[in-house]
Structure 1
Amino acid sequence: MSSTRITVFDQPHQFEPLVPAQRLDLLRERTREVFEKSATLKAAASEPVRAGLREIVRSMNSYYSNRIEGQSTHPAHIERALRQDFSATPDVAQRQRLALAHIEAERELEPRVDSEAQALSSAFVREAHRRLYERLPAEDRRTDDGRDIVPGGLRCHDVSVGRHQPPAWASVPLFLDRMDAVYGRLKGVDALLYTVAAAHHRMMWTHPFEDGNGRAVRLQTHGALFPMSGGLWSVNRGLARDRDRYYLMLDGADAMRQGDLDGRGNLSEKALWDWCSYFLDVCTDQVDFMARMLDLDSLRQRLHAFVLTQRASGAGIEYREEAVLPLQMLAAAGTLTRGDFGRMTGLEERTARKVISRLLKDGLLRSEGPRDVLRLGLPLHALNILFPNLYPEAATAVMD
């Protein structure tokens, strides 16, 4: 016999269980697999390549988190916003500001993660919300019905979210305190992913803020996964690739307890387990995908293909096959001096300098200054070949 639906949530016991208590062996085994794959990934390719990829993932997180909310902007616009180049079209400029705020907030939050448990705290999600919204002008901090969004401030009225009725506004601190008590006990690896998943859902269910709950919670989830992921894979990418399923699974985990065999809490333990299992599927898919992208042999082949494609497309005579070997060396070793890069091409010195200059201009090479070492760059226009399907939206035409 199913539980009677509660019309007003105002006591923390009403959103128990906060983590599943049954059939945990499978979730733990899959978590260990993701952890091991993430550790391998953090040692793949060279650190400059991984650092460049982290910046792409950070941009992707912004793009995909905002796309989940139906407010995405083209990756090219995000790249321009990073250079403080904003569109003259007000709606596009507003979305650019939001994307940039997300990137900067994420960059600031990552070094503040002391532990996964700390990142799952209510203090961290409020900090995430504050750092996101304090960057936006007042006109960007209003809801569709004209309410002001206070950065980091809890909501002060009751709301409905689709079919879900979140807790009464005055009781939100009680629900946050209960989450802190439970998720603050997280230790070790085995329970990590299903605890992060459960916290993601229960924080969304609580809906602590006036607006921006999804964005703040996904920033929190990124923070909680950061010690494991190293910023090299993104659960946001996986959630956004099937936005309807993400919302469907979130909605499913709202279910009330379905009889005596469905746990001991007020909400369904089976539905929470299903949500956690789905979340682990997304994590596994994303870490596996990125492992394929950072496979060194494959990356070398894709660098070769990119140079040949650029030359065949008429991008410039500087895209010479002689440049492939030093580019491949950068993927593995991380840095080369300009002299070493030029010598590895086997070209005459003046020609080698022209090749380096062109690759720097196009972003395939990076350097902090004319005498600094060279690093491999990962420009947006090259991603469809260097990292196919990683960020396919970056290769589409800009329509707005």
Structure 2
Amino acid sequence: MLVYDQPHQFEPLLPTQKLAELGETTRRIFDKSSQLKGSASPQARAALREIVRSMNSYYSNRIEGQSTHPMNIERALRRDFSDQPDVAKHQRVALAHIEAERELEASVDAEAETLSSGFLKKAHASLYGRLPEADRLTDDGRLIAPGALRTHDVSVGRHQPPAWQSIPRFLKRMDEVYGRLKGVDAVIYTVAAAHQRMGWTHPFEDGNGRAVRLQTHCALHLISGGLWSANRGLARDRERYYQMLDNADSPRQGDLDGRGNLSEKMLWEWCRYFLGLCEDQVDFMSSMLDLSKLKDRMRAYLLVRGATSGMNEYREEALLPLHTTAAVGAVSRGEFIRMTGLEERTARKVISRFIKDGLLKSDSHRSEVSIAFPLESLGILFPNLYPEAGTAVLE
């Protein structure tokens, strides 16, 4: 059996050929992301960012086969945990992921620093350090120590990760390569390559996939502004994600396949797949935040919600001020009332109902109101963004 114990065995760490194609896609992603970060109001983007954060947690855990329903994640955010032990455990893991992501994002100043092994350890520690010991046990009873490198050899399917004593050497080599990140064109394919090689190394007892996806999210955060998520794309075709990772583990395929021990061609294919996935997510979120289309979906939501709930506060007169909060920003209650054209008492009932249902938010009963996006609204306001949120809770 081949033993990996020398860093040259997982070279190349970056593709070196056909980089123009990867760079062209990268520039498109930067341009589209920049436009996305300027669309809609700051409050609308902030509300959507929180949905993406919850969605990240759901999808990263679903990739591991351990997700809980989005509604249970919402309940966990309110510290409302299920009486069912397995459901409650999944809620705690989901909540830990959300809180870790928020903490890690706040520490990001540049993409290169997020691709370090130190940041990966920090991501693992931030996630697992929030969980009680009972939630950190592997299936065979081993305790996952937050941020600690593994101390024994493991097998992951057909893959034999490096011998545990050699892990620091592999991490050091990645730091040397990924820490030199320079230039816009190289950013996302470097993030992609780091994602694959960090996972290949399997540095922790368990939780490697979650930690690597947290690292990847943070590496893309300055580009995405938290408004689109690679996790969503990866989870929507989990089998292909795993297959592409596995393909990039392949040994070199002849003299024309780079100069390393592993296949440069398959690493390039992984990078192209990852960039295509990122561009698809930017395009999708851009379509979701197209303000004219969002206005049409808001109108539909008001009509459907009014018809199905029997609450007459959901009425078309509320469309203009509601869309204004999404397009421009927070408005005073007086402005909201005037834009409805309704009598004051009726309009105040509309505001109260929307705040109660989570469609608007306000710091006090007199302060401005701003847009929010409750889970139950997503199926109409942002169709296909997070479809699992609209399914029945069966747990």
Q: Aligning the two structures, in what range does the TM-score lie when normalised by the shorter sequence?
A: over 0.9
- 2:278 aligns to what? 283
Q: Equivalent of 2:30, from 32, 35, 47?
A: 35
Deviations 1:320-369 (A, max 9, x none): 11111100111111111011101111111111111111111111111111
Q: Summarize the alignment of residues 380-391 of structure 1 with structure 2, pairs less than 5 Å apart.
A: 380-391=375-386
The Cα of 1:309 is off from its aligned counterpart by: 0.8
Secondary structure class of the residue paired with 1:112: coil
* Correspondences of 1:57-76 after superposition (within 5 Å): 57-76=52-71
Q: What residue number does 2:341 align with?
A: 346
Give the structure 2 partner of residue 394 of structure 1.
Answer: 389
Residues 219-240 of structure 1 show CA distances to partners (whole Å, capped at 9, x for unaligned) of: 0000100010000000000000
Pick from 248, 252, 257 the counterpart of residue 253 of structure 1: 248
For the residue of structure 1 that corresponds to 2:326, the secondary structure is helix
Q: Does 2:321 match 1:336?
A: no
Q: Per-residue CA shift, 1:32-52, capped at 9, x if unaligned?
A: 000100000000010000000
TM (norm. structure 1) is 0.98
Deviation at 1:315, TM superposition (A): 3.8
Q: How does 1:357-368 map to 2 (within 5 A)?
A: 357-368=352-363
Shift of 1:313: 1.3
**Which of 116, 121, 133 is the matching residue for 1:121?**
116
Asked if 1:207 is matched to 2:202, the reply is: yes
Residue 188 of structure 1: CA displacement? 2.2
Deviation at 1:124, TM superposition (A): 0.4
Q: For residues 377 and 297 of structure 1, what CA distance do their matches in structure 2 show?
A: 18
Show structure 1 runs of 5+ residues with no match.
1-5
> 1:148 and 2:166 equivalent?
no
SS of aligned partner of 2:303:
helix
Q: Which amino acid is the alignment partner of residue 369 of structure 1?
A: S
Partner of 1:149, secondary structure, is coil
1:17 aligned residue: 12
Instruction: Give, in whole Å, the separation in 2 of the partners of 1:315 and 1:298.
Output: 26
Is 1:234 paired with 2:229?
yes
Which whole-Å CA distance do the structure 2 matches of 1:225 and 1:78 have between them?
A: 24
> With structure 2 as the length reference, what TM-score do the two structures score?
0.99
The separation in 2 between residues aligned to 1:322 and 1:30, in whole angstroms, is: 43
Matched, 1:180 2:187: no
Deviations 1:95-146 (A, max 9, x none): 0000000000000000111210000000001000000001000000111111
Structure 1: how far apart are the matches of 2:229 and 2:367? 31
Task: Give the RMSD, CA atoms, in angstroms.
Answer: 0.7
Q: Which amino acid aligns with 1:378?
A: F
- Report the Cα distance in structure 2 between the residues aligned to 1:314 and 1:13, rounded to whole angstroms: 63
- Letter matched to residue 172 of structure 2: D
The one-letter amino acid of 2:138's match is T
> Deviation above 3 Å: which 4+ runs of structure 1?
none
Q: How far apart are the structure 2 equivalents of 1:314 and 1:77? A: 22
Question: Which amino acid is 1:112 matched to?
Answer: S
In the comparison of the two structures, how many residue pairs are matched?
395
- In the TM superposition, what is the alpha-carbon distance from 1:371 to its structure 2 partner? 1.8
2:189: which partner in 1?
194
Structure 1 residue 314 displacement after superposition: 3.1
Name the residue aligned to 1:101. Answer: 96
- Whichever residue aligns with residue 134 of structure 1, its letter is G
Task: Give 1:170 deviation, angstroms.
Answer: 0.4
The equivalent of 1:3 in structure 2 is none
User: Following the alignment from structure 1 to structure 2, what is the Cα–Cα distance between the partners of residues 30 and 332?
Assistant: 29
- The counterpart of 2:153, out of the listed 158, 162, 166, is 158
Query: Quick check: 233-242 or 337-346, which moved more?
Result: 337-346
Query: For 2:260 and 2:141, how far apart are their aligned partners in 1?
Result: 37
- SS of residue in 2 equivalent to 1:313: helix
